[in-house]
Amino acid sequence: MKKVFSFLLALVLLALAGPASGEVTLRELARLEDRAPSDIIGIGFVVGLNGTGDGGDAPSVSQGMARFYANMGMPLDTIDALEDMTNVAIVYVRATLP
């Protein structure tokens, strides 16, 4: 009975959560004082690519992920632990705010 109640509670909470959307415009993220166009540049990681990522054999990916883990308070003993990654890619994003 306890399992059924827990399952129903989880189902209700998921139903109340609604759909998740990651869609955000740059206008919602930034406010500029001047009217000159401004470039926004970013670099990051995309994960979960099911074997289509750059992988751990790309030094930029493994070094970047090692820095990410260190910044999150989980430093790696050796970068060799990241050699088998196949689901990570580095992305570069550039946008111009009018």
Asked if residue 22 has pLDDT above 70, the reply is no
Average pLDDT of 83-97?
Answer: 80
Mind listing the pLDDT tens digit for each residue in 25-84?
Answer: 767 777 767 677 778 888 888 877 776 666 656 777 778 888 888 888 888 888 787 777
Task: Give the span between the Cα atoms of 81 and 62, in whole angstroms.
Answer: 9
Asked if residue 15 has pLDDT above 70, the reply is no
Asked if residue 12 has pLDDT above 60, the reply is no
Q: For residue 86, what are the CA distances in angstroms to 25, 61, 92, 93?
A: 30, 10, 18, 21
Range of the domain at 39: 2-97
Task: Give the span between the Cα atoms of 36 and 89, in whole angstroms.
Answer: 33
Q: How many domains does the chain have?
A: 1
pLDDT at residue 86 in the model:
74
**Number of other CB atoms surrounding residue 94 within 10 Å:** 9
pLDDT at residue 75 in the model:
86
Q: Which bin fits 58, alpha (ψ -120 to 50), beta or left (φ > 0)?
A: beta
